[in-house]
Structure formats: structure tokens, C-alpha cells
């Protein structure tokens, strides 16, 4: 079942990615969610979010991964109140993570297409 608006899933992913970053960094008292003990819950949450999004909407898998990290630099800025000197490198890291999370979206799309697509009528 295709979604009516092609932008709704990426927008929801962006907001959820922002929420995951902000909640994990706040819960573990970290500046960045991927630091220290927040790393594992962050990566697992983001992989699951993207896999579910890929299952819901199997098209545009790379967009899903990139959308899921799109607002996370904003979460860093809000949490810390500043843009640090490593911010450009962080943007590159977010891009690479977005591509990694796209693999989870592709896996979710594969599962849907392989096991949940109705058989054609003969």
C-alpha cells in the first residue's frame, strides 16, 4: 500500500531521528548520542527506524537513511548551544551514517517485497 504523500515517511523519519538523538543524549548525559554508552542504543534505534520505514514504503531507500539523520545536527546545536570546530567533520559522519542506515531501509524493503507482496492473479 503506497503512502498518499511521498514526503510523509522521510519527514517522520527526520523528526524521529531528532528525537532519538535528543532523548539518548539526554538520558545518558552526553553531548552527542553516539558517545560512550549512548552509542549502542543510538545505532540500534536508528537501524530499526529505517528498517521499519523501508518496510512501510519500499521506494527511495537512500532518502530514508539520509532523512533520518537530517535533523540530528540541529539536536547537537540545541543540546550544546554551540557549533564546535569539528562540526564539518560531524556532517560528513552524519552523511556516512545516513548511507549506512539506508542499508537497513533496503533490508526492510527487501523483506516486504520478498515475503509480503501478494502473488499475482493468474
Q: For residue 84, what are the CA distances in angstroms to 22, 32, 73, 118? A: 17, 12, 11, 50
- Domain boundaries in the chain? 8-115
When the pLDDT of each residue in the chain is averaged and rounded to a whole number, the result is: 89
- What is the pTM for the complete model shown? 0.84
* pLDDT greater than 70 at residue 3: no
* pLDDT greater than 60 at residue 1: no
Rounded Cα gap, residues 95 and 72, in angstroms: 11
pLDDT digits (tens, 9 = 90+) for 34-78: 888 888 998 999 999 999 999 999 999 999 999 999 999 998 888
Is the dihedral angle over the CA atoms 35, 91, 16, 68 positive or is it negative?
Answer: negative
Amino acid at each position: 500500500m503506497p503512502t498518499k504523500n511521498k514526503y510523509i515517511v522521510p519527514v517522520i523519519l527526520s523528526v524521529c531521528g531528532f528525537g532519538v538523538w535528543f532523548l539518548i543524549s539526554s538520558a545518558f548525559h552526553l553531548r552527542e548520542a553516539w558517545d560512550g554508552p549512548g552509542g549502542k542504543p543510538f545505532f540500534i534505534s536508528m537501524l530499526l527506524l529505517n528498517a521499519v520505514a523501508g518496510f512501510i514504503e519500499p521506494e527511495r531507500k537512500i532518502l530514508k537513511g539520509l532523512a533520518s539523520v537530517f535533523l540530528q545536527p540541529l539536536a547537537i546545536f540545541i543540546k550544546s548551544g554551540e557549533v564546535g570546530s569539528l562540526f564539518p567533520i560531524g556532517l560528513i559522519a552524519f552523511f556516512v551514517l545516513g548511507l549506512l542506515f539506508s542499508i537497513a531501509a533496503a533490508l526492510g524493503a527487501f523483506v516486504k517485497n520478498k515475503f509480503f507482496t501478494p502473488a499475482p492473479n493468474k
